[in-house]
Amino acid sequence: MEENILINIIVLIGVAVFVVAGFKHFKLSPVLGYLVAGAAIGDHGFKIVTHTQTHLLGELGIVFLLFAIGLELSFERLKAMRKYVFGLGSMQVVITAVIITLIVILIHKDFTSAVIIGVSLALSSTAIVMQVIAETRSGSTQVGRISLAILLLQDFAVVPLLVIIPLLSGGNSKAFIVSALGIALLKAVVALLAIFIAGRLFLRPLFLLISSDKSESNELPISVTLLIVLSAAWATEHLGLSLALGAFVSGVLVAETDFRLKAEESIYPFKSLLLGLFFMTVGMNINVIQTYEHLYYIIGFSILLIVVKTIIISTLCIFFGFNKGVAFQAGLLLSQGGEFAFILFNLAKENKIFEENTANVLLLIVTFTMALTPVLAILGQKISERIERRLGKTPLQIIEFGAMDLVNHVIIAGFGNVGKMISRVMEAEGINYIALDVNQELVKDEISNGFPVFVGDVSHIETLKAMGAERALTLILTMDNEVTIKKSLKSISKGFPNINIIVRLKSLKKSREFYDAGATMIIPESYELGLQLGGAVLKSVGVSENEINRIKGQFRSGNYIKAKREDNMLESEEND
């Protein structure tokens, strides 16, 4: 038995390697490749690997995905997103579930089955959508933020659904169902409080222990990360909740600590591999013969599901003030069925609510729509671009719509090499940002690369208002023209006195002029280059990394942050 499991794992990993390489070579989404490979080697294909033997690996992929999503969020970011998570997300789930339920009742007549189908198909695929967003680098765009908000609420909604379905199997009164739901809610609250308290009490001491380890080994961070993820997932699963919920909450807790980046690096190989294996287990549900027998039903209902969800999500996005192009793109991206539908439909089949044939057809519909997601994402982007062009909005209106959902964000003015590097740092930390540049060709190219960059002049007060400068935390001027920088500084500091303004300069010689114009911090290129080279020299002669960082911090704190200093002091330091 152990030998069979080992062989199955070898086969799965081997297929995963060749699939990713092959599909990337032909510039196709690896997700589609995983689904095809799973169908080929699974129970309904060549039967090399069975679904039951890989089910746990697929679940672990979802666990690590939800933990990674949690790492991208902090309580502050969740608070900033609350309108879209609990407003837009809740309305999407409820309205979609009701409409699909009514459609199913017209076809099937069974109210209980219709409700389960409705709520299950209202959920989208977190795994596939987040994978597509990562591949297209659109996480920092408005579509990426909308998708994340809706998916988060859908993941929360799974918890009561896992409790409700067994209760609908028959013979249970409404009072009993309400009582069971109350107990499930109490369990969820207890589990989340326990994870939260344990995280607050033990995470920081644990991370201090890790930071005291001066070795370059990654074993300890990886072990600790696995311990945190799996313990939290076990805790929620043990209480009858989903594995993914515990993983997500633990990710949010870790995101509040300095260990976030280490944790992200530690789980990345596991997340990517196990998520790929999850997609393959989804593909294993594809029965080619059954698909052929019910082909018209599967295609018809899949198209109906995509159309219904696209219309609902697009309409709700427009209702919440988003642009039509962005709304339609988000609608298509989230129009598929989700991985949790597999769990819910199988649960309904086990509780004799569905016949096996009905459950299998529903699983095929979900699988088919999931397989179409990469294509729908590309189609959505193309249609969105066409809609945006036809709307004929002014540049200011385009910026205003692009920034309307941003709060506590960063504004990057100038999107050359320096601005682009800053944007990548922001993405690595999960910080929302919006970028601006006067070069239309550059902006067009970078938009196609997934960056939220717009055409505009940061020295214009109307442009700053459109970018939500009154809601932003920091504005960074990366241009290398001092005249433009000084002009922009005056406009920004006059119109938005509370925003932090970081300026890039060649040197500190004229820093007093720029501080007086409104700069909060100045980063001089020559000074920073000298610090980096000096740090490299210190490292080469054996000085510790901590000491090098301390020295750099000492020099920076004395010269970068605005302070009451005379020009000659700054100039003398520059000359030294």
| pLDDT tens-place string over residues 408-418 | 899 999 998 89
State how far the Cα of 159 lies from the Cα of 45, in Å rounded to an integer: 33
Hey, is 173 helix, strand or coil?
A: coil
- Fold for domain 406-575? Rossmann fold (3.40.50)
Per the structure block, which two tokens stand in for 253?
């807790």
Q: pLDDT digit string (tens) for 32-54?
A: 778 778 888 877 777 777 666 66
If one compares 252 and 464, the residue with the highest pLDDT of the two is 464
Look up residue 358 and give its two tokens: 């009905």
Coil, helix or strand at residue 520 = coil
Q: Which residues contact 561 (CB under 8 A, 6 or more apart)?
A: 520, 521
Q: Is 418:478 a contact under the CB 8 Å cutoff?
A: yes
Task: Give me the helix-helix angle, 295-319 and 89-108, nearest 10°.
Answer: 150
Provide DSSP, 255-311.
HTSTTHHHHHHHHHHHHHHHHHHHHHHHHTT--HHHHHHTHHHHHHHHHHHHHHHHH
- The DSSP letter of residue 413 is E
Which of 68, 85, 60 is CA-nearest to residue 243? Answer: 60
561 — phi, psi (to 5°)?
-85, 140
Taking residues 314-343, what's their average pLDDT?
Answer: 91
Q: Is the pLDDT of residue 233 over 70?
A: yes
User: Would you state the pLDDT for residue 570?
Assistant: 44
CATH code of 2-391, in short, is 1.20.1530.20
Q: Which two tokens stand for residue 110?
A: 């069974």
**What are the tokens at 463?**
């442009």
The closest of 320, 359, 326, 355 to 341, measured between CA atoms, is 359
Find where tokens 């910026």 sit.
399
pLDDT for position 435: 94
> Is residue 156 pLDDT above 50, yes or no?
yes
Write out the two tokens for 343: 């769990």
What's the CA gap between 493 and 515, in Å, rounded? 11
Query: In this predicted structure, what is the pLDDT of residue 530?
Result: 84
Instruction: Yes or no: say if 368 and 299 are a contact pair by the CB < 8 Å rule.
Output: yes
Q: Residue with structure tokens 């000074």?
A: 527
Q: What are phi and psi of 77, to 5 degrees?
A: -70, -40
CB atoms within 10 A of CB 521: 16
| pLDDT above 90: percentage of residues in the chain | 21
Would you say 327 and 318 are in contact if contact means Cβ atoms under 8 Å apart? yes
The confidence band for 567, taking pLDDT boundaries of 50, 70 and 90, is very low
pLDDT of residue 563: 40
What pLDDT is stored for residue 235 in this prediction?
A: 82
Helix axes 51-71, 142-167, angle to 10 degrees: 130
Which run of H or of E encompasses 35? Answer: helix 30-41
Q: Phi/psi at 239 (nearest 5 deg)?
A: -90, 10
Domain ranges of the chain: 2-391, 406-575
> Which tens digits make up the pLDDT trace of 294-305?
888 889 999 999
Q: Find the largest Cα–Cα distance for the chain.
A: 86
Gap between the Cα atoms of 117 and 354, Å rounded: 10
From residue 418, alpha-carbon distances to 269, 347, 425, 484 in Å are 29, 52, 11, 16
pTM over 0.85: no
